[in-house]
Structure 1
Amino acid sequence: MTTSTMPDSEKTAPSAISVCPNCESGEMEAFYEVKGIPVHSVLLMPSREHAVDYPKRDLRLGFCPECGFVSNILFDPTVHEYSTSCEESQGFSPTFNAFAKDLAKRWVEEYELKDKTVLEIGCGKGEFLALMVEEGMSHGIGIDPAFVPERLDTPVASRLEFIQDLYDERYTHLKADAVCCRHTLEHISPTSEFMRKVQKTIGDQKDTILLFELPDVHRVLKEAAFWDIYYEHCSYFTTGSLARLFRKHGFDPLELMLEYDDQYIVIAGKPASGAKVPLLDGEDDLKRITEEVKAFPERFRKLKESWLEKIDGFYSAGKRTIVWGGGSKAVSFLTTLGLGEQIDFVVDINPHKHGKFIPGTGHAVRSPDTLREDKPDCVILMNPVYEKEVREQLNGMGLDPTIFPV
């Protein structure tokens, strides 16, 4: 695995996206590249051989100086196979479930959505859609090729319907009082094209509420969090670039904030009324994000060196080191650092990941219960928001390894 920053002479390769797919006017400027990374990170493999041989592509991040959007300008959507085999659910974590439930409750109450219909684009396993209906919405429609009917256990099942497919022009006829889209837009490269489909879905319904949630790239750049950069995520937003996308397509932002330890952007909007709506806090961020993009390559270089030195030290000292969290962050962390035998295995609380293997490196994903026998010395925790939850699990097994949150 190799990484690089881009010299000026290579900022627009012939095969790369040159015009920003978000504002559709700015020229993309490349600033970071990783070669040969797995094209999927929520699709775990049935064997180590499959995992190591899984298809790989190059990722090159480009920045639009006009709107602040960041994108993988080498992205190829044809390599993806979104299906019921994808395991994106975070619903086995009490920490995440509490956050999702609070968000659903707040949205339903704040935007007076009780007894109304919600359409969720990219609903995953349907857990959040069910929460919205459990909180008082009358009906929910979910669209996602990864939906698995037998996985959803909810008392409101009769008020839910699901379409196991990707959202496209065929489904713009669906009507709802709220359109929800959580952790989906970052998987879509032509973001403006996507928003035009949303516009068509809403039509002339001026009271429809848009409810979006997705990762914040400002934090990623500021912390040089390279583990949050992977092939499935082709589009990276700040609060400002997301709000600008909303306004470009005729939606006034109603709220714009960071949630979940400032990892996620939460935005709500509605069709513009014609009256001028003042900027919300967080919209005027173009200067700040430009500075973070410039600083990222050197921050990344130093952090990569630091992690490699630390992990090699554990390995040389004979310490058993594991990674906690078998999702996309782990895939990116392991592949970007080129880690192999330095990491013994990966654990995850999601039982549907157990017995599978990390694409790219081939590390096995196991249940945390296996740590009772294979006691770790060091735990690399892929998301610090779960540190309390993980520490309680470890202590409950009589274990007290050193935890290193990324």
Structure 2
Amino acid sequence: MQCRLCDSTRLISVLDLGATPPCERFLTAAELDLPEATFPLHLRLCENCLLLQIPALITPEDTFTEYAYYSSYSDSWVRHARTFVERAIGRLDLGADSFVVEVASNDGYLLQHLVSAGIDCLGIEPSVNVGAAARDKGVPTHTGFLDEELAGKVRAEHGPADLVVANNVYAHIPDLRGFTRSLRELLADDGWLSIEVHHALNLVTLGQFDTVYHEHFQYYTVLSAQRALATAGLTVVDVELLATHGGSLRLWARPEAVAEPGERVAEVLKLEAAAGLHTIDGYRDLRPRTEQVRQELLRFLLDARDAGQRVVGYGAPGKGNTLLNYCGIRTDLLAYTVDRNPYKHGRYTPGTRIPIHAPERIDADRPDVVLVLPWNLETEITAQLRRVAEWGGQLVYPLPQLHYAALGDHVERQSI
């Protein structure tokens, strides 16, 4: 394997999760008796530039031409996007003469707020089905994968962008340097680039192994993101630490001619260095932390089965499929899961073949335990599922540590 940022061959193993199917490749009933392709899921660290990465064994075209994830099904994510837009308008003085591009714009969850504000914008979304949903909302959306050719065409037709937004896409691109050049091509010489990406600090120190899956090719610290963006003449000038996805970075970058890093960049770099992530030594604890999570979760599920309790899941996110496959969880331990996305109803989780139903199934069955797979949305989902307490059921979250949710007004969150 060769590092996709610096071309070094000095990569060391950090975490081997075995071989699993692509996490968004949900199965239909007709596919249950057919072979299912699996690919190694092996996280490595480049000793030279400290970029965490997995081999590019599937292409973005394999994953994103038709995609099962619609951002708008998460109420908290839509609120997060609206807040970002409101603050960006004020911070960057965006108005009727501005132009904003979002890369991997999904179903228009973010750009709809710019449309409402009367600001010219364009989404670039590779998934045909998801992009169509955005256009149905009135969000201008180009269907395609961003590369240097497309970036040049967008710039020629619309002019340079005052703001380019790239939320949860910078990890999804195997051609890291080419994609970074494409972002720079879209951007005005005095423009701003905003990137949100899961923070490798949380992945490593909290054992968030389920954020590792095949469509995530690399995992960033601020240090490695600085090095990646610098390949296209972009400088990180500000950093925000976000709670989303179990702990994310919002990186603000600008062309280096107008850029100077602010104090928050240095502060987060110090946090990473203190955790040992600016050397290889800080990454060595991820494997034992991951193994501990698996052992504790399996012990809990086995005890629940032995006690005659029925356990079902809530959500069918990509990260959940990494967890299910790594832990070897099947329908004997998790009868089914539910999801708000109708696209997934009647399908089955990849690898583990757990059926996916509409959320109403939980109310009909009244299970003893609901295991929440999108644990990063704990506040939102706990509020949605407080009714589980009405029949004596419990909500359980597997990460960052296995725990019961607080469902009543006077019930505290409890570790298991």
Report the TM-score when normalising by structure 1.
0.86
Q: Partners in 2 of 1:298 and 1:282 — Cα distance?
A: 25
Q: Partners in 1 of 2:58 and 2:131 — Cα distance?
A: 29
What is residue 337 of structure 2 aligned with on the other side? 346
What is residue 221 of structure 2 aligned with on the other side? 238
Give the stretch that moved more between structures: 146-155 or 396-405.
Answer: 146-155
What is residue 192 of structure 1 aligned with on the other side? 177
What is residue 380 of structure 1 aligned with on the other side? 371
Matched, 1:403 2:388: no
What's the CA shift for 1:214? 1.4
Say which of 257, 267, 280 aligns to 2:251.
267
What's the CA shift for 1:161? 2.5
What is residue 141 of structure 2 aligned with on the other side? 162
Residues 203-261 of structure 1, C-alpha deviations (whole Å, 9 max, x = no match): xx311211111111221111212221111211111232213322343212232122125
What is residue 4 of structure 1 aligned with on the other side? none
Contact between 1:124 and 1:146, CA under 8 Å: does it hold in 2?
Answer: no
What's the CA shift for 1:335? 0.6
Q: Partners in 2 of 1:150 and 1:139 — Cα distance?
A: 16
Contact between 2:171 and 2:216, CA under 8 Å: does it hold in 1?
Answer: yes
Contact between 1:243 and 1:253, CA under 8 Å: does it hold in 2?
Answer: yes
Contact between 2:99 and 2:121, CA under 8 Å: does it hold in 1?
Answer: yes
Residues 46-100 of structure 1, C-alpha deviations (whole Å, 9 max, x = no match): 227449743211121111233331100363427824223x122231222222112
Contact between 2:164 and 2:194, CA under 8 Å: does it hold in 1?
Answer: yes
Matched, 1:295 2:285: yes
Q: Partners in 2 of 1:187 and 1:374 — Cα distance?
A: 38
Q: Partners in 2 of 1:100 and 1:391 — Cα distance?
A: 21
Q: Partners in 2 of 1:339 and 1:52 — Cα distance?
A: 20
Contact between 2:171 and 2:217, CA under 8 Å: does it hold in 1?
Answer: yes
Contact between 1:122 and 1:182, CA under 8 Å: does it hold in 2?
Answer: yes
Q: Partners in 2 of 1:51 and 1:251 — Cα distance?
A: 49
> Aligned AA for 1:257?
E
Say which of 207, 222, 232 aligns to 1:224.
207
Which secondary structure does the structure 1 equivalent of 2:106 belong to?
coil
What's the CA shift for 1:123? 1.4
Residues 348-405 of structure 1, C-alpha deviations (whole Å, 9 max, x = no match): 1223322221111111111221112211211222234433433333334644422221
Matched, 1:98 2:88: no
Say which of 317, 320, 329 aligns to 2:319.
329
Aligned runs of 1:80-99 on 2, under 5 Å? 80-84=62-66, 86-99=67-80
Q: Partners in 1 of 2:251 and 2:83 — Cα distance?
A: 15
> Aligned AA for 2:172?
H
Distance 1:107-1:293 versus aligned 2 partners, 3 A rule: same
What is residue 355 of structure 1 aligned with on the other side? 346
Contact between 1:240 and 1:286, CA under 8 Å: does it hold in 2?
Answer: no
What is residue 124 of structure 1 aligned with on the other side? 106
Which secondary structure does the structure 2 equivalent of 1:166 belong to?
coil
Contact between 2:305 and 2:333, CA under 8 Å: does it hold in 1?
Answer: yes
What's the CA shift for 1:275? 6.9
What's the CA shift for 1:26? 7.1
What is residue 414 of structure 2 aligned with on the other side? none
Which secondary structure does the structure 2 equivalent of 1:172 belong to?
helix
What's the CA shift for 1:318? 1.8
What is residue 3 of structure 1 aligned with on the other side? none
State the identity as a percent: 19
What's the CA shift for 1:150? 5.0
What is residue 7 of structure 1 aligned with on the other side? none
Distance 1:226-1:149 versus aligned 2 partners, 3 A rule: closer
Contact between 1:322 and 1:343, CA under 8 Å: does it hold in 2?
Answer: yes
CA RMSD of aligned residues (A): 2.5
> Aligned AA for 1:393?
Q
Q: Partners in 1 of 2:44 and 2:8 — Cα distance?
A: 14
Q: Where do 5+ consecutive residues of structure 1 fail to align?
A: 1-16
What is residue 315 of structure 1 aligned with on the other side? 305
Which secondary structure does the structure 2 equivalent of 1:207 belong to?
strand
What is residue 390 of structure 1 aligned with on the other side? 381
Report the TM-score when normalising by structure 2.
0.84
Which secondary structure does the structure 1 equivalent of 2:44 belong to?
strand
Which secondary structure does the structure 2 equivalent of 1:206 belong to?
strand
Residues 178-219 of structure 1, C-alpha deviations (whole Å, 9 max, x = no match): 2111111111123122212223333xx311211111111221
Asked which structure has the greater RCO (Cα within 8 Å, sep 6+), the reply is: 1
Q: Partners in 1 of 2:168 and 2:101 — Cα distance?
A: 15
Distance 1:225-1:277 versus aligned 2 partners, 3 A rule: closer
What's the CA shift for 1:277? 4.0
Which secondary structure does the structure 1 equivalent of 2:308 belong to?
coil
Contact between 1:51 and 1:360, CA under 8 Å: does it hold in 2?
Answer: no
